[in-house]
Amino acid sequence: MLLKIFNFPNTIISRYLLKNLIVFLVSIFFIIGLIVFGNQFVLTVQESVEHGIPFQELMPIVGFNMLRDVPIILSLSLFLAIIISISQMYKSSEAVVMNSVGLGDKSFVYYIQPIVLFSFVLVFILTIYAVPWAKQQKSYAEDETVNASEFSFITKGKFESFKNGEIVFYASESSLIDSAGEQNMEEVFIYITRKESPVIVLASEAIKYTDSTSQSIYLRLKDGVRYEGLPGDLNVNILDFDQYDLEIVSGEVQKSLSNFSEIEEKTTIDLLNEGGLLANAEVQWRFSQPLSILILSVIGVLLGKTSPRTGKGINLLIGVVIFMIYNNGLLVAKTSIENGELNPLIGLWSIHIFFILFLLIFYQLRQGKLSYFVDKIATLNKPEKSNV
């Protein structure tokens, strides 16, 4: 009924191709999803063990991460399924017979329209509505579980590193003061890596707190000694102090991370009304994912065209490389907009235009028309022989 409404072909060939495409799509999606979601499951178990959070409290976060990753997994699965389905028909010479009666690449593109358009609509709904909602819910869940545990992120009897390993911290005792994140510690040891000379700090007690103005996280050390230089060196500076504040996490870093996460959690309508570089980049990214499905589906049909003597996995490997270049190109363009290095008017649309041009050139090459024009140009450039 839907095929009649949208005027899709309902022939034996189209049904055969759609059936194979659906089987390959479901199989590939299941395999890739199992790998991605299995990896997230293992990481969640590790996080549960490290932070002492009950595993059942982290399961909603796993579910929100799964929903976040579905659009890109579906896009890749559909792209590879199209390549495999078309290649299989060429390998069995079915597509060769179809080409001989005038059914070529355009017919294949026409036949796979129902699955492509269904995937386009599904990914569009996911990226515009579902994924931002999932990221927002994940943020709420982390505030209640992971971030609550992070209030005691300095674990007693365990070495902790901060600022990319620049600071190593140890406390024999640790206890939470209040829900605002302040924490009391005893018998504190700190090692700070510096180019000039390392710094060692010993303190009888310390308090972790967050500065209300800069949002930086500090350790307020009390009744301790600060050694600059290693013991045995000639130039060792020793300082006794009653109170000494040490920055552990920069407030600027936290603000930038919160800005990015906040933008990703906003609805598309709010982003369109807000404007700005971050909002522009996020909106273009959301619209780019469903749009890329339409472009990649046609490229997949062209990549599927092969001969029985061609290696079985060559086209599939090329497809994976093209998908990675496409997706990474979108990510680079998105980052460039956020950093103010790329005009939003050019933005992610330039990546789509580039791949549309690539698609047109690839199509001409597959049809043999490009070589025809090249031969014509080469013939015109040849100097005429003069008769003497």
Distances (CA, A) of 113 to 109, 117, 118, 301, 352: 6, 6, 8, 12, 20
Q: Are 239 and 204 in contact (CB under 8 A)?
A: no
Percent of the chain at pLDDT > 90 equals 18
Distances (CA, A) of 387 to 52, 127, 286, 384: 93, 69, 66, 10
Residues contacting residue 54 through CB under 8 Å, at least 6 positions apart = 48
Q: Which residue has the tokens 């100097």?
A: 383
Is 212 exposed, middle or buried, given 0-12, 13-18 or 19+ CB atoms closer than 10 A? exposed
One DSSP character per residue, 68-105 reads HHHHHHHHHHHHHHHHHHHHHHHHTTHHHHHHHTT--H
pLDDT digits (tens, 9 = 90+) for 239-298: 888 888 877 766 555 554 444 457 777 888 888 888 788 888 888 999 999 999 999 999
- Distance (Å, rounded) from C-alpha 161 to C-alpha 266? 33
Closest of 361, 298, 354, 302 to residue 328, by C-alpha: 354
Q: Are 136 and 125 in contact (CB under 8 A)?
A: no
234 φ, ψ to 5°? -70, -40
Distances (CA, A) of 184 to 178, 205, 244, 284: 10, 7, 15, 46
Window from 129-133, 209-213, 377-381 with minimum mean pLDDT:
377-381
Q: Are 264 and 135 in contact (CB under 8 A)?
A: yes
- Start-end of H helices in the chain: 2-5, 12-51, 55-91, 94-100, 105-111, 113-125, 131-144, 146-150, 251-265, 268-274, 277-304, 314-338, 349-367, 369-381
Q: What is the pLDDT of residue 152?
A: 44
Q: Which two tokens stand for residue 292?
A: 């890329």
- Distance (Å, rounded) from C-alpha 320 to C-alpha 76? 8
Flag whether pLDDT at 19 surpasses 80.
Answer: yes
Q: What is the pLDDT of residue 2?
A: 45
Flag whether pLDDT at 190 surpasses 60.
Answer: yes
The residue that leads in pLDDT, 321 or 362, is 321
pLDDT digits (tens, 9 = 90+) for 129-169: 888 888 888 777 666 555 444 434 566 677 777 666 677 88
pLDDT digits (tens, 9 = 90+) for 323-359: 999 999 999 999 898 888 888 888 899 999 999 999 8
- Start-end of H helices in 126-250: 131-144, 146-150
Mean pLDDT score across all residues of the chain:
77
Q: What is the pLDDT of residue 325?
A: 94
**Alpha-carbon torsion (20, 23, 28, 29), positive or negative:** positive
Q: What is the pLDDT of residue 149?
A: 44
Band of residue 8 on the pLDDT scale cut at 50, 70, 90:
low
**Alpha-carbon torsion (273, 275, 281, 284), positive or negative:** positive
Window from 23-32, 96-105, 183-192 with minimum mean pLDDT:
96-105
Q: Which two tokens stand for residue 245?
A: 């504040």
3-class secondary structure, 244? strand
- Distance (Å, rounded) from C-alpha 213 to C-alpha 216? 8
Q: What is the pLDDT of residue 143?
A: 60
The residue that leads in pLDDT, 207 or 142, is 207
Closest of 73, 27, 56, 112 to residue 300, by C-alpha: 112
Q: Are 162 and 153 in contact (CB under 8 A)?
A: no
- Distance (Å, rounded) from C-alpha 82 to C-alpha 86? 6
**For helices 349-367 and 369-381, angle between their N-to-C axes, nearest 10 degrees:** 80
Mean pLDDT over 26-52 rounds to: 79
Flag whether pLDDT at 52 surpasses 70.
Answer: no
Q: What is the pLDDT of residue 105?
A: 72
pLDDT digits (tens, 9 = 90+) for 68-121: 889 999 999 999 999 988 888 877 776 666 666 666 677 778 888 888 999 999
Q: What is the pLDDT of residue 131?
A: 86
Q: What is the pLDDT of residue 79?
A: 93
3-class secondary structure, 231? coil
Percent of the chain at pLDDT > 70 equals 70
Residues contacting residue 101 through CB under 8 Å, at least 6 positions apart = none
The residue that leads in pLDDT, 347 or 310, is 347
